[in-house]
């Protein structure tokens, strides 16, 4: 199992015939920061719905721009990504708010180094102690 995960992360997978194929449309593995959308990058309040994305939160939009300008790989890390119909809405929102065309996901992997999220509670690594 671990070898299969390593192969996936390095871009090599086996097809059903057992031959190894390179994953061509996947971004190369590497460190990245996740930034939640609703409530972190965009306003989410009692009137919010999944039909529209709230107004940008300027401090966080600026933070994401600085990350990108400094060569940090940033992904929008949002539960909305589980619904394919939400992806074009998120892309349009990023474009309207001056953000680059960032990757969008709802899946963590071994390369995620940080997560910016309004719901997360930080836990000290390897201890279970809530910080």
pLDDT string in tens for the chain (131-residue length): 555 545 544 443 333 444 443 433 555 689 999 999 999 999 999 999 999 999 999 999 999 999 999 999 999 999 999 999 999 999 999 999 999 999 999 999 999 999 999 999 999 999 999 99
- Give me the CATH number covering residue 89: 3.40.50.1000
10 Å CB burial of residue 11 (0-12, 13-18, 19+) is middle
The whole-model pTM stands at 0.77
Q: What is residue 29's three-state secondary structure? A: coil
- Are residues 53 and 85 located together in one domain of the fold? yes
Contact 72, 33 (CB under 8 A): yes
Contact 72, 62 (CB under 8 A): no
Q: Which domain holds residue 74?
A: 31-116
How far is C-alpha 30 from the geometric centre of its chain's CA atoms? 13
- Are residues 45 and 12 located together in one domain of the fold? no
Q: Which helix (H) or strand (E) holds 20?
A: strand 20-22
């Amino acid at each position: 199992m671990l070898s299969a995960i390593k192969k996936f992360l390095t871009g090599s997978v086996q097809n059903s015939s057992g031959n190894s194929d390179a994953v061509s449309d996947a971004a190369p593995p590497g460190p990245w920061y996740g930034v939640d959308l609703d409530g972190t990058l965009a306003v989410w309040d009692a009137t919010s719905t999944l039909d529209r994305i709230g107004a940008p939160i300027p401090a966080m939009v600026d933070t994401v721009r600085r990350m990108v300008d400094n060569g940090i790989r940033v992904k929008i890390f949002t539960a909305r990504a589980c619904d394919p119909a939400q992806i074009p809405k998120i892309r349009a929102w990023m474009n309207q708010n001056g953000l680059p065309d960032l990757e969008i996901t709802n899946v963590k992997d071994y390369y995620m180094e940080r997560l910016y999220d309004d719901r997360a509670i930080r836990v000290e690594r390897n201890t279970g102690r809530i910080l």
